[in-house]
Every structure is written in C-alpha cells, then in structure tokens.
Structure 1
Amino acid sequence: MTFRYKHSILIGLAILTLSACVTQKYERPQVKNDNLYRDQNTTDTATIADLPWKSLFTDTTLQSLIQQGINENLDLKQAIERIKIAEATLQQSRAALFPSLQGDLSVTDTKQSQAALNFPAGVNINLETQTYKAQLSTSWEADIWGKLSSAKRGAYATLLQSDAAKRAVQTQLIANIANTYYSLLALDKQLAITQQTIKIRQTDVETMKALKEGAIVNGAAVVQSEANLYAAQVTLPDLKRSIKETENALSILLARGPGSINRTSLDQQVPFNNLQTGVSAQLLQNRPDVIAAELGFRAAFENTNVAKTYFYPALTLTASGGLSSLQLKDFFSNSVFYNLVGGLTQPIFAKGQNKARLKTAQAQQQQAFYTFQQTLLTGGQEVSNALYAYQTAEEKEITRTKQVASLTKAVDFTKELLRYSSSTNYTDVLTSEQSLLSAQLSSINDRLQKLQSIVNLYRALGGGWK
C-alpha cells in the first residue's frame, strides 16, 4: 500500500514536471517604460491621474454633464456588455476543468422483419421488443499538459482586458465631454465679442457719416466703415452654426437627442494648475489602454500555451451507467449496467493543423507585444504633447494680454486722430480694429488651449476612472 502511494506521488510529480515543460508561467515582458516624458526628469510619483475627476473639474454644471455621460453614454454601455461576454467565456473555461454530466431517459420500440431473420417454418418468435433505459454519463479530460488551465487564465486575462477597455472608454468620454464643453464656452465668448464688435462698428458708421457731413472725412471712409461692419456681421451665422453643432455633438456623448446644453461661461472657469505627472513607469498601472494592451498580450501568451499542448496526448475518461430493461416491470430489478473507458489520444498526422495553430498563436503573441509597447510609447507622447500645449498656452496668454491692451489703445488713438487730424484716414482705424478683433478671438483660443491641455494631460496620464 505504501509502495502504491509513493508510486502515485512519483507519477503525479512526473506529470507536473512534464506539464511545466509544455506550458510556461506568465511574466511581464520587458518594455521601455522610463523617460517617456520629454524634458521631464522628475522622480516625484505624485500625479493628477490619482485625482477623482470632480476634483479636477470644479464647474458643477460640467460635473453634472460628465455624470450624465457616465450613466448614459452608449459607447460605455457597449463596453459593459463586452465585459459580460468575457465573464461568460471565463465561466465556460472554468467549467471545462470539471467532468460533464448528462442524463438520458428513453423508451425504444423495435420490430424485426421475419423475412430478414430467415427463421425455420413453425418457429414463432416475438419480433417486437421495447427497451426501457435510464442512464447517467460523464466525461472528463485530465489537464495533464495545462491546456485547460491556460485557456482559463487566457479567458481571465480577456475579462480583465475588457474591464480595462471599459475604463479607457470612460477616461476618453470624460475628456471628450470636458473638451466639447470648453469648446462651447469658447464659441459663446467669441459670439459675445463679435456681437459687441458689431455694435461698436455700427456706431463707427454713424460717426463716419457725421464726420463726412462736417467735411472731415470723405465718402470712402463711410463706405469702408460699412464694409468693416459687414465683415463682422458675416461671421455671425458661422459662429451660431458652430455653437449648434457643438451642442449636438455634446448631446450625442450624453446619449440624448440634439438640443441645447446648460452651461456657464468661459470667464468662470478656473484652470487646475498643480499639474503633477509622476514618473512614466506609472502609466503601466494608471493608463487603462496600456493595462488593456498588456492583458491582451497575456491572453495571447496563454493561447500560445494552449497551442503547444495539442502536440501531446490527451487523457479522457468517460463513464456511463444506469438501468435498462426489456420489461417495465423488471426496470428496477437486475437491470443495472455501467461502462468505464479511459483513453489516450496522441496526434500523429493532423495535416499540419497543430503546427499552423502554434505558429499563428506565436505570431499573434508577438503582435500583442508590439501593441503593448506601442500603446505605452503613445501614452508618453500624449503626456508630453499635453504638457507642451499647456506651457505654450500660458506663454501666449501673457503676451496676448499685452497685445490686446496695446491694440485697444491703438483703436482709441486712431479714432481720436481721425476726428482732429487730416493726416489720419479711416484705413488706419480699420486696420487697428481688425487687428484688435483678431487678437481678442485669438485670446479665447489661447484660453481654450490651456483648458483642453489640462483635460488631455489628465486623460493621457490615465485619470478619470479611479
């Protein structure tokens, strides 16, 4: 008995050793994950990616819109359904490790042909029989080479990948809602400035007409002032159209029909200024698409393990048993039957299917590795781009403020000179007014760039899902 016990242990250890030679344990691949942020050599691990999105966006109206998007967005709902599919696949993979069990209850009526049996004359045999049968059958494949375990781990990695993909959809959704909201506020501001400019230019037209009557300017100045007015008025339809289209785009993100969007103003926005990035290696645990890419590689790794096991024999155990009788009255007496089968199936010639399966799995694993590496590098690029966009916007804001102040004075001075000096003509006023409007609209774009660069940096670092 002791010898048999030891013998069983040795067989088990041998099988485990062989299994370890066939399938391998997953380890994270070596990828470049340091110094991915250009000109950022910090060792501080504090990052805005750890902030809840409500801490980054303090506008309560925007907070409400983001929450609506998280609750209702259709892309996010699709991602949740993909998680459910992955969960079902995982349950199926887990169930494959256990024996299957089926029940069968049947009644069979059989009648033989007397002519076909060729019995001698005078022999009278009942040619019709009924068979009553109730049985249970089971089948189990021993996971000697780790095929079923690898399939289960691959399914689990796919589930985690689906969950990470859902978080990536959420971070992108939050960024899209915030960026579209800020674009809408910027358009509102541009519309307000343009409308204010139109009022000023309407006054200019009246002023030029009065100066012409006083022989201070000629008719050309009046016509130029009118043309200047029309140049501002003609931009209104496009601005209003852009506002409507942006509202519609934001409505789609919120999974509702196109319509007006409740909002505040651009002047009320307070940009978050403590833009900590942490170190680039943190993208591996913060950025959902990077996490999903690694899990995709892990699933492909386990698929390769599964493909390797097809070259080795499969051990399958089947059993069936129950009750069978030709007479219903004898069904529970002397009618027990059973059947036990254990078999090894060794692939010998499979038309190259096993080799092709392994080669395909290995190529897909390598593709998944490149995708993982590319996603990580892209993450570093997006962080760097967002930081440069923020820094550029800050620099432009300072200079643009000075430009607008100078141009405002230039407009006032030229208008005054036009009243009292014949050396000044309306072309000078026209040029200064057009430059002022252009600078004012550009200052709004600078502000928008700053706000959106913060949003993009937050998303690039992996913020918005925690």
Structure 2
Amino acid sequence: MNFRYKSYIIIGFATLCLTACVTKKYERPALNSNDLYRDNSGTDTATIANLPWKTLFGDATLQTLIQQGLDENLDLKQAIERIKIAEATLRQSRAAFLPSLTGDLSVTDAKQSRAALNFPPGININTETQTYKAQLSTSWEADIWGKLSSAKRSAYASLLQTDAAKRAVQTQLIANIANTYYSLLALDKQLAITEQTVKIRETDVETMKSLKEGAIVNGAAVVQSEANLYAAQVTIPDLKKSIKETENALSVLLGKGPGTINRNTLDEQQPFSNLQVGVSSQLLQNRPDVQAAEFAFRAAFENTNTAKTYFYPALTLTANGGLSTLDLKNFFDQSIFYNLIGGITQPIFNKGQNKARLKTAQAQQQQAFYGFQQTLLTSGQEVSNALFAYQTASEKETTRAKQIASLTKAVDYTKELLRYSSATNYTDVLTSEQSLLAAKLSSTNDRLQKLQSIVNLYRALGGGWK
C-alpha cells in the first residue's frame, strides 16, 4: 500500500474520531414501560392489538363503513400528504452530501467614460465592450463534524414520525367510526323502547278512562295517565334529533356529506370476549402515537447534534470554470478559465447565534423527551380505563336484567291491583312505569358502554393499523 492510500485511511479514521467527539449516537431513553396497567401484573404477551380490525368487528355493515372511512376520510388523507412532505425533506437532506452545480450563460455590454479614463490626446480606443461567458460553478462541504449526517438522521426520524402519526390517525379513525356506529344503534334502540312505551301508555289512557266510567278510579288517574303518555312522547323528537346528528357525524368520518347511514341493530352485536392486553412494555411497539413521540424525540436529538457542529470549522471546496471571450466568433478559441478554492471557515463571533441555536435545540430535545414520557403514561391510563369500563358494564348488565325483570312484574302487579283494590292508586302504576322505562334506557347505555369499552381498549393497545 503506497503512502497516498495510507494517508487517506489515516485522514478518514481521524475524521470519524473527530465526528464522534462532536455528535452522539442515538439511544432510546430509559423509560419505565412496565407496570403501566393498573391491577394487571400478567406476563402473557398475547394481545388483541395484533388482531386485524375485521376480526374484532364481526358486523359486516360496520366493516364496510370502516373500510369506506379508511379510503375516504380527509384527516387520514392529510396525514398521508404530511408523509410526502417528510419524504421530500429526507431526499433533500440526502442530496446535501452531493456538491451543488449551477450553470451560467451571460452577455455583458459595458461602456467606459472617456473623461474618466483620461486618455492622452490623439488616442482612439473603443470604450465599449461585449463579454460573452458560459460557466459552471460547484461547491461541496465536507461532513467532517457530522452536521449533514445528523440533519439526514433528523429528517429520517421526522419521516418515521409522520408515518407513525398517520397510523395513529388510522387507529383513532377506526375507533371513532365504531364508537359512533354503536352510539347510533343505541339511539335506535332507545327510540324503539320509547315508541313501544308510548303505545303501552296510550292503551293505559284508554284503560283509565274505562275504569273511571266503572267508578274504579277517579278523574285524577285519567289525567295522570295522559301526563305519563306525554312525558314519553316528548322525548321522541330529541331522540330523532340525536340520531340525525350522529348520522351526520359518522358521514363526516366517512368523508361524505350528511346522509342516512346503513346499519344493523344493537341486539345483533356480538361483543368480542377474548380481551387479552399483553404487557405494558408492548405499547412501545404497538401504539403508533407512542412511536411518533419517540421519533419526535429522536429528531430533536439529532437537531442538537447538528447545532453542536456549528461551533467547529467548516471545510468547503468551490470551483468554477467555463469559456469567456470578447469576441463571439472566437468563443471556443483559447477562452477557457477556471478557479479552484478550498477553504476552512471557523466561527469566531456570530452574535450569539450558535449558542442560541444549541440552547434552543437542547430545550426542544428535553420537551420532546417529556412528551414521549407523557404519551407513554397516558397510553397506560387509557388501557386501564378501558378495562375498568368493560368490567363495570359487564357487572351492570347482569344486575340491570334483574332490575328490569322486577320492574316489569311491579308494573303488571300494580295495574292488576288498581283494577281490584282501592288501596292502590295510579301513582303506584306511574312510578313503576317510569322506573321501568328508565331501566330499559339505562340497559341500552350499559350495552353501549360495553361495546365502546372494547373499541377503546383495542385503540389504547395500539390495534387497527397492522
């Protein structure tokens, strides 16, 4: 190996050493990602986050709506465009390693003042000249301190962040569509219950009128039965309004104008029962927003590396060359020119810009670290809340069924006693009927809470994007 190649190796090795002294290699910060789930110390890594969303949601109509949302939702389309922006920035950062190249073709017409030139008398020199020039200019900065490399890694981390953010939008979109769909089904069920109650109370009014004619009840019972009917009827317009508004909200999620939503019924829904959550450390791999927060920290870390390099000298090589002549006819005849310049620029006084740049980058890096930490803690909270919501809804379903059964009997018994016993008045019937209606509506809410808690748990674990 000759001396020249040995010199190249020594210079390259020295450059790597110097770069390592200025910039640092990224390592994931030490965050405690264990025990983020409350009251859950299991070690089973199986999790519903790995399930495709079509497996979790068995309703074919809901599957169609989710797919439509993934194809047309405007928030998701914006996230995809942000990825394109990040890709363009990454390509630009990679191109920074290459020398710049510009071309210049110019014609210059210049005329000097004879009086300013102070020619002796009798000398006749043409003071007007035309210069024709064609040149190429190039400039290249050597990445001695890793400034360009850090900028490229920052751009790459930003690209990964936008991709993770897009996946986070997707998981949230799936959850929003499913939750809104279930809300719509619950409103349909509440409307059906209320309309059925109205029919029963219309019959009660006619019954009270007949009992009054038979002198079994008085006029107060008839008026009370009518008021009870109106109390049910008056809630129907609000329910219909809520249904329309929920349909409109779901239409926006699907990327279309407000309109009727095709749907099934709440009773047809079969909640997914095998709710495996895995271990909390899996959130780092499964939750897109946690991944996005880490990539944001990684980009800020590389920006700090870049800011450090501004304190060190920059080696720049520039060159330009081409053809230049005063006579266009002889443009290619002995008109070649060139310049080669190699220089090192060391910042000495830059009005505090380098220090401000570094302090800003360090503060932004610390902010990104706190954001990463906060996102991880919040994700654990959301998983715990969804689990508790599911458990609560399951417990209420059993008790609510018993409550409805008892209230149904109470309504039947009080109506029968009203026919044959003077000890019973219509107030007892009224109380029982109102309690029964409230219990049936609450039962619908219990069912909705159970379905939505499964959706929220799936999203909180990071499901819906794989």
TM-score category of the 2 structures, normalised to the smaller one: over 0.9
- 2:222 corresponds to which residue? 222
- 2:394 corresponds to which residue? 394
SS of the residue corresponding to residue 332 of structure 1 reads coil
- 1:456 corresponds to which residue? 456
- Which AA in structure 1 matches 2:318? T
- 2:75 corresponds to which residue? 75
- 2:138 corresponds to which residue? 138
- Which AA in structure 1 matches 2:238? D
Shift of 1:7: 2.8
Shift of 1:254: 1.1
- Which AA in structure 1 matches 2:440? Q
- 1:383 corresponds to which residue? 383
1:409 is aligned to 2:409: yes
- Which AA in structure 1 matches 2:239? L
Shift of 1:9: 2.0
- 1:307 corresponds to which residue? 307
1:427 is aligned to 2:409: no
Shift of 1:212: 0.8
Q: How does 1:10-159 map to 2 (within 5 A)?
A: 10-159=10-159
Deviations 1:261-318 (A, max 9, x none): 1111000100000101111111001100000000000000000000000000000000
Separation of aligned partners in 2, 1:201 and 1:12: 91
TM-score calculated relative to the size of structure 2: 0.99
Separation of aligned partners in 2, 1:140 and 1:273: 62
Shift of 1:2: 2.6
- 2:329 corresponds to which residue? 329
SS of the residue corresponding to residue 40 of structure 2 reads coil
Q: How does 1:177-256 map to 2 (within 5 A)?
A: 177-256=177-256
- Which AA in structure 2 matches 1:349? F
Deviations 1:95-149 (A, max 9, x none): 1111001111111122211111110111011112111111111000000000001
Separation of aligned partners in 2, 1:4 and 1:57: 68
SS of the residue corresponding to residue 46 of structure 1 reads coil
- 2:274 corresponds to which residue? 274
Separation of aligned partners in 2, 1:323 and 1:414: 110
SS of the residue corresponding to residue 276 of structure 1 reads coil
Deviations 1:83-103 (A, max 9, x none): 111111111111111100111
SS of the residue corresponding to residue 271 of structure 2 reads coil
- 2:445 corresponds to which residue? 445
SS of the residue corresponding to residue 121 of structure 2 reads coil
- 1:162 corresponds to which residue? 162
SS of the residue corresponding to residue 211 of structure 1 reads helix
- 1:296 corresponds to which residue? 296
Shift of 1:463: 0.6
- 1:343 corresponds to which residue? 343
SS of the residue corresponding to residue 202 of structure 1 reads helix
Separation of aligned partners in 2, 1:105 and 1:71: 50
Shift of 1:6: 2.1
- Which AA in structure 2 matches 1:180? T
Shift of 1:326: 1.3
Where do 4+ consecutive residues of structure 1 move more than 4 Å? none
Separation of aligned partners in 1, 2:5 and 2:55: 63
C-alpha RMSD of matched pairs (Å): 0.9
Separation of aligned partners in 2, 1:8 and 1:68: 59
Separation of aligned partners in 2, 1:91 and 1:269: 48
Shift of 1:178: 0.5
Shift of 1:259: 1.3
- Which AA in structure 2 matches 1:140? W
Separation of aligned partners in 1, 2:29 and 2:334: 63
TM-score calculated relative to the size of structure 1: 0.99
Structure 1 portions without partners, runs of 5+ = none
Separation of aligned partners in 1, 2:457 and 2:175: 10
- 1:262 corresponds to which residue? 262
Separation of aligned partners in 2, 1:303 and 1:134: 39
- 1:360 corresponds to which residue? 360
Separation of aligned partners in 1, 2:136 and 2:357: 35
Separation of aligned partners in 2, 1:144 and 1:95: 16
Shift of 1:257: 1.3
Separation of aligned partners in 2, 1:463 and 1:362: 34
Shift of 1:323: 1.1
Shift of 1:241: 0.7
Separation of aligned partners in 1, 2:62 and 2:169: 18
Structure 2 portions without partners, runs of 5+ = none
